Amino acid sequence: MFNALVVEKDEASGETAASVRQLALEDLPEGEVTVAVEYSTLNYKDGLCLGSGGGLVRRYPHVPGIDFAGTVEASDDDRYAPGDKVVLTGWRVGEAYWGGYAQKARVKADWLVPLPDGLDTRSAMAVGTAGFTAMLAVMALEDHGLVPGKGPVLVTGAAGGVGSVATAILGHLGYEVAAVTGRPEQEGYLRELGAARTVAREELAETVKRPLESETWAGCVDAVGGAMLARVLGQMIYGGSVAAVGLAGGTQLPATVIPFLLRGVNLLGIDSVMQPFDNRLRAWRRVARDLPMDRLEAMIRPAVLGDLPALGADILKGQVKGRVVVDVNG
């Protein structure tokens, strides 16, 4: 028997409730690899799945947790053997499939990545899906010509999970990071992560009629979308790129094509869920090399399974800073 955070739904009322329960190995779904989970994290999608499901959960009872790290316990796949350290993000695990909010998980071997040298399971989940997405964004910007010294790099939603890790990575790599936040009290936190300066959210939140403004940003990791993304596109330097990772500000994009046509601006979509294995491995190796662990530690808020229902509600309200690392055995 093992502990798991299980979300159940009352079919009559439609209400859901999450609680820690004991499950047996035979309760786990099919898969080639059984993992003894050590750590998971809390993400916005987890907050949805801990509550009403947000349309993400297919069937109940359900075990959320869109990422986890742990040790292989049993494997029917030659790529993994008992004792191997592994990490999982994406593939709709924790949404359509049972996830990491349990002491055991059983998944497809194709969904796993070997834990790279330089990371343990706790630090891997301090990175988690948010940090993995941040590294994909940085890699995409670099692949499109971003280098230190080209100009300041904007990070929107900088105090959130993706923004925090993006700020730390970019700062460590020598970029001049301008961190956007709507919470002035986070300035010290963001500077500790590596931001050279902060930008008040209000400065970028207003839609302007001009399709182009002064060339300001060499690159941008954008977790907000909406009107802010439209505004930022008009402020990019010639040939600059924006890596879009989120939609905290909405799904609409009230922009024109002028920045793309007159300044050669690139809008790069970043998806972490269905990334192919080779790019996943590349990203995790870059995380191990380029994310300073001391800065990562400053982001961590520890939690256990029983804390998650309340934290899930908090993250949906924008009240969670940095990275929540869940010790599923705590």
Q: Tens digits of per-residue pLDDT, 243-261?
A: 999 998 899 999 999 999 9
| Residue 116 DSSP class | P
- 138 and 108 in a single domain? The answer is no
Name the token pair of 222: 């954008």
Q: Check residue 138 and give its pLDDT.
A: 98
- 150 and 219 in a single domain? The answer is yes
Cα distance between residue 253 and residue 221, in whole Å? 16
Name the token pair of 203: 């400065």
In this predicted structure, the answer to whether residue 207 has a pLDDT above a threshold of 80 is no
Cα distance between residue 251 and residue 291, in whole Å? 30
In this predicted structure, the answer to whether residue 301 has a pLDDT above a threshold of 90 is yes
Q: Of the ranges 64-68, 118-122, 184-188, which one carries the lowest mean pLDDT score?
A: 184-188
**Residue 16 belongs to domain spanning:** 2-115+292-327
Q: Check residue 208 and give its pLDDT.
A: 79
Q: Check residue 122 and give its pLDDT.
A: 97
Report how many domains make up the chain: 2
Q: Which residues contact 56 (CB under 8 A, 6 or more apart)?
A: 45, 48, 49, 92, 95, 96
Range 162-174 average pLDDT? 95
CA distances from 44 to 84, 103, 247 (A): 29, 21, 11
- 110 and 137 in a single domain? The answer is no
Q: Check residue 314 and give its pLDDT.
A: 93
Q: Check residue 78 and give its pLDDT.
A: 97
For residue 91, is it left (φ>0), alpha (ψ between -120 and 50) or beta? left
Cα distance between residue 54 and residue 62, in whole Å? 13
Cα distance between residue 136 and residue 129, in whole Å? 10
pTM: 0.92
In this predicted structure, the answer to whether residue 270 has a pLDDT above a threshold of 90 is yes
287 in any annotated domain:
no
121 in any annotated domain:
no
Task: Give the strand pairing for 236-244 and 217-222.
Answer: parallel
285 in any annotated domain:
no
- Domain CATH number, residue 211: 3.40.50.720
For residue 14, is it left (φ>0), alpha (ψ between -120 and 50) or beta? left
Arithmetic mean of pLDDT over the chain: 95
In this predicted structure, the answer to whether residue 204 has a pLDDT above a threshold of 90 is yes
277 in any annotated domain:
no
Q: Which residues contact 276 (CB under 8 A, 6 or more apart)?
A: none
- 176 and 253 in a single domain? The answer is yes
Q: Facing residues of 36 across strands?
A: 71, 104
53 vs 194, residue with greater confidence: 194
- 159 and 52 in a single domain? The answer is no
Q: Check residue 293 and give its pLDDT.
A: 86
Q: Tell me if 62 sits within 8 A of 5, measured CB to CB.
A: no
Q: Check residue 161 and give its pLDDT.
A: 86
- 149 and 204 in a single domain? The answer is yes
135 in any annotated domain:
yes
Q: Check residue 205 and give its pLDDT.
A: 85
Burial class (CB in 10 A: 0-12, 13-18, 19+), 214: exposed
